[in-house]
Amino acid sequence: MISALFPFAASAAEYPAAAQVAAAESAFAAHSVATDMREAFLTAFAEDSTLLRSGPVPGRETIQKNPAPPIELNWRPAFVYAAASGEIGYSTGPWRITSKTDPAAPPKFGQFVSIWKRQADGVWKVFIDLGISHPGPSLADAWLMLSQATQAGADEAAAKNAEKAFSEISEKSGYLEALKRFSAKDTRVYRDGHAPFLGHDAIRKMPDGYAGSGQEIVSSGLSRAGDMAFALVRIAPRKADGNLDKPAAHALRIWKAASNGKFELMLDVLNEMPRQ
């Protein structure tokens, strides 16, 4: 079992919405281990949830169509952030898969990212879920960090402008350049096959990786407080690279309001779609 390392209780009192998301995520993982991932996902996912597989698919509908795989999927939150309005947040941390049929099979590792929304009845449910895989464990022993928006909220126009500017810079100069320009000091960037890139210095050392254009927003949201936004974006190969047979990708970008009234990027996770 992946152990949950919690900070001082004062953090939960200071960031109550983030603490609730962390508790919901931890209960979700415990349910998966105690029963199976299918049952746990059906319990935790919202009716309008989205799951990233070979692209965005309806979460609950996709899970219901398939039997539980013969694996144990275990995970825990390592970082949780919530809007000041307390109705939206995100959770991320390490996951591990082990086989239930072949105990000798080596485990697989990665990181998950989940957008959570508080429902009308007050229960937190998963709205978007995706992640990456990478060799070996990473952040498995990290302390759980809770955080909450501290800047005055921006507005919907500012969130849209941030996404538009990010897309334009990515088209002109590449995705990595856009990350460098828009990332917060503590940004988290996830790419398949790599341990998480955490913070400005790590991002500057990233390989160029995927560069995309024609970025189309599939799903987006803004907190009531206007201090947290997200966008699930479909990305075509960048025309300037002359490599149009490269598969398309989907990225989830999570933003927070900055002191200048604009948005800065908190997290970027990108999944390439398999070639057809």
pLDDT given at position 13:
80
CATH topology identical between 9-148 and 156-272: yes
pLDDT given at position 236:
82
**Interacting residues of 14 by C-beta distance below 8 A, sequence separation 6+:** 146, 148
- CA dist 110 → 12, 134, 263 (Å): 26, 5, 28
Confidence of residue 130 (pLDDT cuts 50, 70, 90): very high
156-272 maps to which CATH number?
A: 3.10.450.50
Domain extent listing, the chain: 9-148, 156-272
pLDDT, tens only, 7-50: 444 477 889 999 999 999 999 999 999 999 999 999 999 999 99
9-148 maps to which CATH number?
A: 3.10.450.50
Q: How much is the pTM?
A: 0.92
Tell me the residue type at 152.
A
Confidence of residue 247 (pLDDT cuts 50, 70, 90): confident
Q: Which residue has the tokens 């913070």?
A: 199
pLDDT, tens only, 209-244: 666 666 789 999 999 999 999 999 998 876 666 655
Mean pLDDT of 149-173: 89
